[in-house]
Structure 1
Amino acid sequence: MGYQSRNNRRPFESASKASHRYIINDSEVKALMKRIHEPPSPEDVPIENVSVDVDSDPYNPVEAIIAVDGGYTEAIINQDFPSRTIHFLQFGALCFSLEDLAEVDASAFIAPEDMSKLKRIQRLKLALPTRNVCFKDASTLKESVLKAIFEFFSKNTLDENQSLIDTLAWFIFRRYKLNKKTEEQKHWNLATNPLTLEGKNVVLREQDMDSNYTFPCPETGGRIYLTDIFRLHEVIDEETGAAGILGYLVNTVEHLIIIHIIRQLINVQPDKLKQVFFIKDGSTGFFGQTALLHDPMKDLVNWLLDKYNILLAGLEKSGAFVDHAQAIQKKLEPGQALILTDDYIYRYILPGSGDPNRPYASTSNYGHKVIFKTKEGQMYVVSVPARELKKNPTEADLPNLQVILKNVEALRCDMYDSALFPVALVNKLVSLSAHPSQRILQKFASQSVSR
């Protein structure tokens, strides 16, 4: 790693232009490269026996679309101290009817008032200290981050009566089941205590939660936030910072926004829930420290399928599965879908052989991945919730698969590869660009922080 020039008095130290030869000529490096497994080429992938046709039946129960996305950008608080940073996060839930979309699509000219119908969006904002920063009422970076996340969930309601933190309690403690939940579902086993250095296991019981959604700490007498179940404190370091939690946090907030909207629809118009298609940016799963949340999500999905036949899917825009989808584009016929089995995933997409006793990603995902080629030739990787993950899923294991893929086709967007119109639009409305958004936010952060 080169040296930086801070005062413009010395040149920037660039990396060597010749040191690569020591790596290329090293015998151990050469031997290691020969050990790397390369999956078969796309031409050798057999998909004829594992693909399914998408139904051409024009019936579509969906009347409205709700898409959720989030993004973040970094801002340096003090240019003279560039390692002191804060991240700004923004999330959006976009809602529009298929009728409005059809009207805009049929218009010869799109007026601003037409597009306004498709931009009914709720935005949530969060400023999160991530390195060499802490609140005035906190003693550490970790304490500041956990407090900021808890306050974000406590204050945001999406213009509803309940806050996101109340919906988190509804979700985690299965309050939607009323008196039918098990004793095990009345508490949460938190693997590490965020208030102690030892970080011992602590059980958070629903009956011990106060009106502010905190629990008594059995070791310190302090209060543990309900949002601490995300276990983000485990990857916050006082020196290297908290930037490592951002991906986990964004995915979790996106999920909770969807759950919050579903909860409000159940309270106000439960019959309408069957007519709404929820689209999440990314796959259907929780990862890293938040992975255990996939278990209550699986419970909620099963309950929603039983009661309301919920329509929910994740759209993946990048990664190994999207790369593979593009690679096999010519082999898949228009209007066909490929339901990925464990054997297929580990043979043609991911390295290794997987766990012989458990389905792929069963400790984080609550859905299966499907590669879909529309009749127009666009390729999509769609994550579809399942009642139970299996090593060899079939169409029967993915509720509402035909309806979901039919709407994916209807919502296709030609602006980008593998894009859906609602996801592309909500991303445009909430994403924070490197220029000029990042520079403006950096100036805002520098001017706002009192020294």
Structure 2
Amino acid sequence: MGYTSKNNRRPFESASKASHHHIINDPEVQAVMQRIEEPPQVDDISIEQLIQDFEPPDNNPIEAIIAVDGGYTEVVLNKDFPSRSIHFLQFGALFFKLEDLAEIDSLAFIDPKDMAKLKNIQRLKLALPTRNLCFKDTNTLKETVLKAIYEFFLKSNLDEDKSLIDTLAWFVFRRYKLGKKTEQDKCRTLKKNPLSEDGNSVDLREEEMNSDYTFTCPETGGKIYLTDIFRFYEILDEETGAEGILGYLVNVIEHIIIIHIIRLLINKQPEMLRKVLFIKDGSTGFFGQTAQLHEPMIDLVNWLFDKHNILLAGLEKSGAFVDHAQDIQNKLESGKALILSDNYIYRYILPGTGDPKNPYAHTSNYGHKVIFKTRNGQMYVVAVPVKELKKNPTINDLPNLQIILDNVEKLHCDMYDSALFPVALVNKLVSLSAHPSQGILKKFASQNIN
């Protein structure tokens, strides 16, 4: 890495124009390049055995759509101290009825009052210091970030009587099972205690949880937050900052919002779980430090399938699977669904051979991916929750697949590639633009931070 000019008094250090030949002529580098294997070209792919016909049900049971999305933007507080930054996050849960969408679709002209029917949205906001900042009542950035996340979950409730952190406890301690919980359901083990200087493990037992959703550290007597089960403290660093956790944090919050609404429906209108389609921006899984949450999610999904139902679709907009879907769009006929097996994924999409005993992403995912080409030719990568991950899933292993694909086709949006109307709309309502949102937030932060 070259030197930069801090005060514009010295020239920038420019990179060498001739050093590349040391890399090109190095025998070890050449040996590494020769070991790399490229995936087969699209023309060599055979997909016939994995294709299923799209057969929309005669009666669509879906009456309402709930789409959840989140986003964030960075604000650098002072140009003289560019490493000091804060991120503003915003999340939205958009609700609308399918009949309202159908009614608007039939109109020659759309009145703003009609569009208001499709903007019934709940927003949640979070300001998170991410570099060289801390609260007045904390000593480090790490303490600040963990406390900010805890307080966000503690105070956010989507205008209901229960907060997101209460739903988190309901989720991780399997409170929905009532009197049928096992001892394992009542305890979560952190391999590394966030307050331990020696890095010892700690058990978070439900019966030992305080009324404020904290636990007393057995070593220091300090507070361990319930939200510490996300394990962000393991990767937070005072020098590099907290920006590395943002993608994982957004994914967790989006999931907990969906679980929060599911819990609300179970308590008030359980029959609606068979009539509501949840759409999440992104895959059906937990990743990075939060990956262990996929275990309670699999438990919840199985319980919902047995007791009620769950209609959830994860829509991917980018990544290797979306790129591959675009590559094969001319090979996949309209009205067909390609159910991805392990052999297919590791042969044509991802490098390597995978785990010979366990399915793809078995430590993070709770659903299987499907590449779907609608009858109008749009391409989608849809992730569908399942009871059990398998190396070679069939259509019988993906409950509600035809219902979900039917509604994906109905909700298509021509504004962007592979877009769905509710996802595009909720993204517009919660996303924060570089201009003018970022500039306005910078002024807001600068004026309010001492």
Q: Give CA-to-partner distance per residue, 1:386-443, whole Å, 9 cap, x none.
A: 0000001000001000000111111111111111111111111111122222222122
Secondary structure at 2:48's aligned position in 1? coil
Q: With structure 2 as the length reference, what TM-score do the two structures score?
A: 0.98
Aligned AA (2:408): V
Residue 107 of structure 2 corresponds to 107
Residue 448 of structure 1 corresponds to 448
CA–CA separation in structure 2 for the residues paired with 1:223 and 1:38? 50
Deviation at 1:104, TM superposition (A): 1.4
CA–CA separation in structure 1 for the residues paired with 2:186 and 2:272? 29
Aligned AA (1:364): S
Deviation at 1:13, TM superposition (A): 4.0
1:49-68 matched pairs, under 5 angstroms: 49-68=49-68
CA–CA separation in structure 2 for the residues paired with 1:210 and 1:29? 56
Matched, 1:308 2:308: yes
Secondary structure at 1:253's aligned position in 2? helix
Residue 226 of structure 1 corresponds to 226
Query: 1:131–1:242: 8 Å Cα contact kept in structure 2?
Result: yes
1:405-424 matched pairs, under 5 angstroms: 405-424=405-424
Query: 1:359–1:390: 8 Å Cα contact kept in structure 2?
Result: yes
CA–CA separation in structure 1 for the residues paired with 2:394 and 2:144? 46
Query: 1:294–1:366: 8 Å Cα contact kept in structure 2?
Result: yes
Residue 151 of structure 1 corresponds to 151
1:16-165 matched pairs, under 5 angstroms: 16-165=16-165
Deviation at 1:2, TM superposition (A): 3.2
Query: 1:384–1:401: 8 Å Cα contact kept in structure 2?
Result: yes
CA–CA separation in structure 2 for the residues paired with 1:133 and 1:166? 28
Query: 2:360–2:391: 8 Å Cα contact kept in structure 1?
Result: yes
Q: Give CA-to-partner distance per residue, 1:195-227, whole Å, 9 cap, x none.
A: 123221100100000110011111001111000
1:425-444 matched pairs, under 5 angstroms: 425-444=425-444
CA–CA separation in structure 2 for the residues paired with 1:344 and 1:446? 51
Residue 325 of structure 2 corresponds to 325
CA–CA separation in structure 2 for the residues paired with 1:199 and 1:71? 33
Deviation at 1:26, TM superposition (A): 3.4
Name the CA shift for 1:161/1:11 in 2 (closer, same or farther; >3 Å): same
Query: 1:190–1:202: 8 Å Cα contact kept in structure 2?
Result: yes
Q: Give CA-to-partner distance per residue, 1:225-250, whole Å, 9 cap, x none.
A: 00000000001011111111111100
Residue 256 of structure 2 corresponds to 256
Query: 1:76–1:446: 8 Å Cα contact kept in structure 2?
Result: no
- Listed as ranges, the gaps of 5+ residues in structure 1 are none
Residue 4 of structure 1 corresponds to 4
Query: 1:91–1:254: 8 Å Cα contact kept in structure 2?
Result: yes
Secondary structure at 1:255's aligned position in 2? helix
Name the CA shift for 1:16/1:114 in 2 (closer, same or farther; >3 Å): farther
CA–CA separation in structure 2 for the residues paired with 1:198 and 1:77? 35
CA–CA separation in structure 1 for the residues paired with 2:312 and 2:326? 24
Q: Give CA-to-partner distance per residue, 1:6-32, whole Å, 9 cap, x none.
A: 333344444444444443343332332
Aligned AA (2:240): T
Residue 393 of structure 2 corresponds to 393
Query: 2:56–2:405: 8 Å Cα contact kept in structure 1?
Result: no
Matched, 1:367 2:367: yes
Name the CA shift for 1:414/1:25 in 2 (closer, same or farther; >3 Å): farther
Query: 1:63–1:99: 8 Å Cα contact kept in structure 2?
Result: yes
CA–CA separation in structure 1 for the residues paired with 2:12 and 2:62? 58
CA–CA separation in structure 2 for the residues paired with 1:218 and 1:431? 41
Query: 2:56–2:403: 8 Å Cα contact kept in structure 1?
Result: no
Aligned AA (1:125): K
Query: 1:69–1:254: 8 Å Cα contact kept in structure 2?
Result: yes
Aligned AA (1:247): G
Aligned AA (1:286): F
Residue 380 of structure 1 corresponds to 380
Q: Give CA-to-partner distance per residue, 1:247-298, whole Å, 9 cap, x none.
A: 1100000000000011111111111121000011100000011000000000
1:177-326 matched pairs, under 5 angstroms: 177-326=177-326
Deviation at 1:152, TM superposition (A): 0.1
Name the CA shift for 1:13/1:103 in 2 (closer, same or farther; >3 Å): farther
Query: 1:93–1:123: 8 Å Cα contact kept in structure 2?
Result: yes
Query: 1:368–1:389: 8 Å Cα contact kept in structure 2?
Result: yes
Aligned AA (1:173): F
CA–CA separation in structure 2 for the residues paired with 1:134 and 1:385? 39
Name the CA shift for 1:336/1:26 in 2 (closer, same or farther; >3 Å): same
Q: With structure 1 as the length reference, what TM-score do the two structures score?
A: 0.97
Residue 358 of structure 1 corresponds to 358
Aligned AA (2:68): V
CA–CA separation in structure 2 for the residues paired with 1:165 and 1:387? 26
Secondary structure at 1:85's aligned position in 2? strand
Query: 1:231–1:290: 8 Å Cα contact kept in structure 2?
Result: yes
> Larger deviation: 28-37 or 94-103?
28-37
Aligned AA (2:161): N
Query: 1:77–1:449: 8 Å Cα contact kept in structure 2?
Result: no
Query: 2:57–2:403: 8 Å Cα contact kept in structure 1?
Result: no
Q: What is the identity percentage for the equivalent residue pairs of Structure 1 and Structure 2?
A: 74
Query: 1:358–1:391: 8 Å Cα contact kept in structure 2?
Result: yes
Aligned AA (1:386): V
Name the CA shift for 1:392/1:444 in 2 (closer, same or farther; >3 Å): same
Deviation at 1:447, TM superposition (A): 1.5
Query: 1:76–1:445: 8 Å Cα contact kept in structure 2?
Result: no
CA–CA separation in structure 2 for the residues paired with 1:56 and 1:369? 18
Secondary structure at 1:351's aligned position in 2? coil
How many pairs were matched up? 450
Query: 1:51–1:339: 8 Å Cα contact kept in structure 2?
Result: yes
* RMSD, aligned CA: 1.2
Secondary structure at 2:279's aligned position in 1? strand
Name the CA shift for 1:23/1:434 in 2 (closer, same or farther; >3 Å): farther
Q: Give CA-to-partner distance per residue, 1:45-101, whole Å, 9 cap, x none.
A: 111111000104331000000000111111112221110111111111111111111
